[in-house]
Amino acid sequence: MKNQTEKTSIVNGRSNWCLALLSGLVLASCNPAGSGKLATDTDNGGLKLPEGFGVLVVADSLGAARHLAVNAKGDIFVKRRNIEDGRGIVMLSDTDGDGRADKQTGFGDYNGTGIFLDSNYLYASSNTDIFRYALDENGHVIDPNAPDTVVTGLIDRRAHNSKPFTIDGAGNLYVNIGAYSNACQVQDRTKGSPAMQPCPILDSAGGIWQFRADGIRQTYGDGERYATGLRNVMGIDWNNQANTLFVTQHGRDNLHDLFPELYDTKASATLPAEALFRLDKGANAGWPYTYYDQEQKKIVVAPEYGGDGKKESTEDYLTPAVAFPGHMGPNDLLFYTGDMFPEKYKNGAFVAFHGSWNRAPEEQAGYMVAFIPFKDGAPSGEWEVFADGFAGVEKIAAPDDAKHRPCGLAQGPDGSLYISDDVTGKIYRVIYEGGA
């Protein structure tokens, strides 16, 4: 069932490419190709950005667009969470040079989130496997129907089953295997259910596993657990300056629901921290035994393991490199190595916050892309909101209120920053215009 089709479209409506054609005519008439500089949208796709930045909406209606990658020619590969028309990967191309996708192809008959490009291969993950597709000299997949299976048989028990991954410069592949649990209770998320000690989930999940990027059909025994104590990692990227891995973890949920006597709804909305970790081999980030409290600035014992919200851990667990407010859902991480953006962004980290749900009944938060400056491979300043306005509403009481939610990040060959949205499947391209 791995098949490939082509559609001529600008806005890639899955159900009506005629709308796409119509939009294409309108867009083309006010944005002539070949004018040299790309014309950004007058409304910046609804986003708010720092002075000098503009946004061009490359495509929309792709479905649940998760992570994405851009090749040297500017073609965009997008991983869909759910297959549509049998296709879990979409490739977008711009043939007339106006920056908007006018050609769409699809392949890959599996759900999933992770996607990664190097100069020779496109890699993509289902919720159990990682596949790779050889590329031709134009960066196009040679045979979409016959990928190699690089990794197979990773655990998928629905909860936290996405398998985001990255590859370092030495041919090592690092994949998240999320814990299929909130806090390692005997009965997940159930009030009064005791925690398991030690947590048995950590033998096959709740960490980052390392494999060879050029291996075939590797599974648990062929790789090794690179880091543990990570509940669920969605953002994962290699930092070339520090020459090490960084990840973003989604912190545990339901503190108030499970322990109302220790946490009120306000505390439960902001705790624990969402964390950016520097991960060296052998690191242990403490899940499920502890969590990081960004307000007390300490690693505290989880209430399931005897904590009271204040008791500090005596174990040697990893402290976050950056601690963000709770539940904002850091779904992707990108170290910016391009030359387009101003100097402050060089080698810094962009984090796509999918937006919270576990803050209810309090107001939700996140739904934006943040930036953290880095120097010599370590954070060098406070994090700030970089791109906001995805939700399209002032107040987000429930995730369903948000019209768009940022999910994936990628850097284009010219240094543009691409952001995916998994509500309608919009692809934003952020361009710096201030310098010219």
Partner 1 sequence: MKVVHNRTLFRGLLVALVAGACMACGGNQSKDSGTAATVTDTPETVEQEPPVLTAGMTAGKAIYEQNCVTCHQTNGKGVSGLNPPLAGTDYVTGDKNRLIGIVLNGSNVGLEVNGAVYSNAMPAHAFLSDEEVANVLSYIRNSFGNRADTVSAALVKEVRALL
Minimum CB–partner distance for residue 93 and partner 1 (Å): 21
Q: How many CA atoms lie within 13 A of 414 on its CB side?
A: 13
User: In sequence order, what are the residues at sequence separation of 6 or more whose Cβ sits closer than 8 angstroms to the Cβ of residue 137?
Assistant: none
Nearer to partner 1 by C-beta: 2 or 298? 2
Buried b / exposed e over 121-143, threshold 16 CB at 10 Å, is bbbbbbbbbbbbbebeeebbbee
User: In sequence order, what are the residues at sequence separation of 6 or more whose Cβ sits closer than 8 angstroms to the Cβ of residue 252?
Assistant: 182, 183, 231, 272, 287, 288, 291, 302
Reduce the secondary structure of 23-47 to three states and give it as a string. HHHHHHHHCCCCCCCCCCCCCHHHC
Residue 262 CA to residue 355 CA, distance in Å, equals 25
Query: Cα-flanking dihedrals φ and ψ of residue 151, to 5°?
Result: -130, 140
Q: Give the number of residues written for the chain.
A: 436
DSSP letter assigned to residue 255: H
Nearer to partner 1 by C-beta: 13 or 412? 13
Amino acid at 195: A
Residue 284, number of CB atoms within 10 A of its CB: 18
Residues that bind partner 1 (CB under 8 A): 14-19, 21-22, 25, 64, 81, 84-85, 158-161, 182, 187-193, 253-254, 256-257, 260, 268, 357-358, 360-361, 397-401, 423
Nearer to partner 1 by C-beta: 268 or 284? 268
Nearer to partner 1 by C-beta: 189 or 212? 189
User: In sequence order, what are the residues at sequence separation of 6 or more whose Cβ sits closer than 8 angstroms to the Cβ of residue 222?
Assistant: 211, 212, 215
The single residue listed with the structure tokens 């000690």 is: 197
Minimum CB–partner distance for residue 79 and partner 1 (Å): 14
Minimum CB–partner distance for residue 339 and partner 1 (Å): 36
Nearer to partner 1 by C-beta: 48 or 157? 157
Nearer to partner 1 by C-beta: 189 or 311? 189
Minimum CB–partner distance for residue 27 and partner 1 (Å): 14
Minimum CB–partner distance for residue 35 and partner 1 (Å): 25
Minimum CB–partner distance for residue 25 and partner 1 (Å): 8
Residue 248 CA to residue 313 CA, distance in Å, equals 21
Report CA Rg, the chain. 21
Minimum CB–partner distance for residue 286 and partner 1 (Å): 22
Residue 57 CA to residue 357 CA, distance in Å, equals 26
Minimum CB–partner distance for residue 139 and partner 1 (Å): 29
Nearer to partner 1 by C-beta: 45 or 63? 63
Residue 22 CA to residue 10 CA, distance in Å, equals 9
Residue 18 CA to residue 349 CA, distance in Å, equals 39
Nearer to partner 1 by C-beta: 168 or 401? 401
Nearer to partner 1 by C-beta: 2 or 189? 189
C-alpha 344: how far from chain center: 22
Nearer to partner 1 by C-beta: 51 or 400? 400
Helix (H, G, I), strand (E, B) or coil at 325: coil
Residue 159, number of CB atoms within 10 A of its CB: 14
Please spell the DSSP secondary structure of 46-105, one letter per residue: G-B--TTEEEEEEE---SSEEEEEE-TT--EEEEEEEEETTEEEEEEE-SSSSSS--EEE
Minimum CB–partner distance for residue 332 and partner 1 (Å): 16
Minimum CB–partner distance for residue 30 and partner 1 (Å): 17
Minimum CB–partner distance for residue 188 and partner 1 (Å): 4
Nearer to partner 1 by C-beta: 423 or 430? 423
